[in-house]
Amino acid sequence: MKYQRLSLAACFLLLLFNLTAFSQSDSGRLEIAFPLKHLKQTSGFGWRIHPITGEFHFHKGVDLAARNDTVFSIMNGVVCKIGNNPLIGNYILITHPDDVQSLYGHLSAIAVLPDDKVTAGQLIGITGATGRVTGEHLHFSIKYHGHELSPLAFLCGMNALPP
């Protein structure tokens, strides 16, 4: 399977209208879900001044507004790792087909264990404010062949794949 890129503009449009998650595929052609029911970006992918350290650094994921919200696996996969880290708090790392990995951080609760098989749209945890945060949100990132991609561009691109 090849992932095509979709323009960032389209993604921003999606965010602008605060669309709710497309479900994991009525048509059966896509097995993809949003990590939260509602996506509202509070900090984007790319260079930024870190809200706590004040340093200029590359934010390798997106921060999504959340309050005690259910977190969903974006695709079918296998839980690679769960853990706690001073920066991203309680986190889940999932490995998907085609060398895609998704990471969900700052969780208050984790509902999966390493090596668990998960499906797109499956509940995997609850958002929280663990790790280094100024407030509750979901840190969500995507790695493709070991490189971080803009997670929302990735999701939009997946949603735009032809049948």
Q: Is 130 in the site for Zn ion (CB under 5 A)?
A: no
Q: Which two three-digit tokens encode residue 21? A: 């998650």
Q: Is 128 in the site for Zn ion (CB under 5 A)?
A: no
Alpha helices by DSSP H, the chain: 8-16, 151-159
Closest CA to 127 of 62, 84, 70, 89: 70
Piece in contact with Zn ion (CB under 5 A), picked from 4-12, 78-86, 134-142, 154-162: 134-142
Contact (CB, 8 A) for 92 and 116? no
**Closer CB to Zn ion, residue 30 or residue 107?**
107
141: burial class by Cβ within 10 Å (0-12, 13-18, 19+)? buried
Piece in contact with Zn ion (CB under 5 A), picked from 29-37, 93-101, 113-121, 133-141: 133-141
Q: Is 106 in the site for Zn ion (CB under 5 A)?
A: no
At residue 109, what is the residue type? A
**Closer CB to Zn ion, residue 63 or residue 69?**
63
Q: Is 44 in the site for Zn ion (CB under 5 A)?
A: no
**Closer CB to Zn ion, residue 45 or residue 72?**
45
Residue with tokens 């853990």: 83
Q: Rounded distance, CA 160 to CA 153, Å?
A: 10
Shortest separation between residue 88's beta carbon and Zn ion, angstroms: 8
Q: Is 143 in the site for Zn ion (CB under 5 A)?
A: no
* Selected binder of Zn ion within 11, 139, 155, 156 (CB under 5 A): 139
* Selected binder of Zn ion within 21, 32, 63, 118 (CB under 5 A): 63
Residue with tokens 């984790």: 110
Applying CB under 5 A, which residues contact Zn ion?
63, 139
